[in-house]
Amino acid sequence: MKAAVYPGSFDPVTYGHLDIIRRASDIFDELTVSVLNNHLKSPLFSVEERVKILEEATKDLPNVKIDCFSGLLIDYAKKKDVHVAIRGLRAITDFEYELQLAQTNSKLSNGELDTMFLTTSLEYAYLSSSSVKEIARFHGDISMCVPAFVAERIYEKYGHGSCR
Ligand code: ADP
């Protein structure tokens, strides 16, 4: 069985992430989307909230599982016996960081963890979780960035109620 893990902050999940999830789930028998519990960041959504949102957003994809982890990705992948990490690439700026991360993970795992990159679909190239939060904070329209139920949750966090 071919399995992969797609790690990330997903704070919150966007249509860009969902596009990568959908395409990776077509390639692999099982895809685990795993929320990184990063103590250095102060997220908008807790890990538990992000897991719940991802579960809802991917409920039509039977071979996609949602999980969370803290610590090093290589340790998590080893525990899960998964040898491929999925990452998405939007622009050349992503590439530098992602290449370094992929090489570090390969080195640290003695070649046990490989990284597979999927390039963003053009319509989502501009999307990032941070820009979605910035737009929502100022009551902007995020309907083209995230599913409607996610938009509601984000507006609630900023105290805007369930609509703009
Ligand atoms: P971000 O805050 O940048 O969205 P994440 O840690 O949640 O960061 O992202 C997880 C992975 O998804 C990273 O590999 C990132 O490059 C990728 N990703 C994020 N947004 C998009 C997008 N719009 N299209 C393709 N890949 C994306």
**Tokens read off for 113:** 């963890």
pLDDT tens digits along 117-146 = 999 999 999 999 999 999 999 999 999 999
What does the chain come to in residues?
Answer: 164
pLDDT at residue 160 greater than cutoff 90? no
- Which pLDDT does position 50 carry in this prediction? 98
CA–centroid distance, 16 to ligand 1, in Å, is 7
Partners of residue 136 on adjacent β-strands: none
Ligand 1 touching residue 124 (CB < 6 A): yes
Residue 164 pLDDT exceeds 70: no
Report residue 17 as tokens.
């992430």
State how far the Cα of 5 lies from the Cα of 32, in Å rounded to an integer: 5
**What pTM, to 2 d.p., does this model score?**
0.93
Q: What is the pLDDT of residues 12-62, one digit of tens each?
A: 999 999 999 999 999 999 999 999 998 777 899 999 999 999 999 999 999
Is the CB of residue 115 below 6 angstroms from any atom belonging to ligand 1? Answer: no
- Catalytically annotated residues: 17, 41, 90, 129
Q: What confidence tens digit (pLDDT) does each residue in 62-88 have? A: 999 999 999 999 999 999 999 999 999
Ligand 1 atom closest to residue 11's alpha carbon, by position in its atom list: 7
**Atom 26 in ligand 1: residue holding the nearest Cα:** 88
Report the nearest atom of ligand 1 relative to the CA of 87: 14
Give yes or no for a contact between 106 and 78, defined as CB atoms under 8 angstroms apart. Answer: no
Q: Is the CB of 12 under 6 A from ligand 1?
A: no
* Cβ of residue 67 lying under 6 Å from some atom of ligand 1: no
Q: Which atom of ligand 1 is nearest to the CA of 130?
A: 2
Q: What is the pLDDT of residue 38?
A: 85
Distance CA 122, CA 160 (A): 30
Name the pLDDT band for 93 (thresholds 50, 70, 90): confident
- Residue 161 confidence (pLDDT): 61
Identify the band that residue 163 occupies on the pLDDT scale cut at 50, 70 and 90: very low
Q: What is the mean pLDDT of residues 153-160?
A: 92
Q: Find out whether the beta carbon of 109 lies less than 6 Å from any atom of ligand 1.
A: no
> How many Å lie between the centroid of ligand 1 and the Cα of residue 136?
18
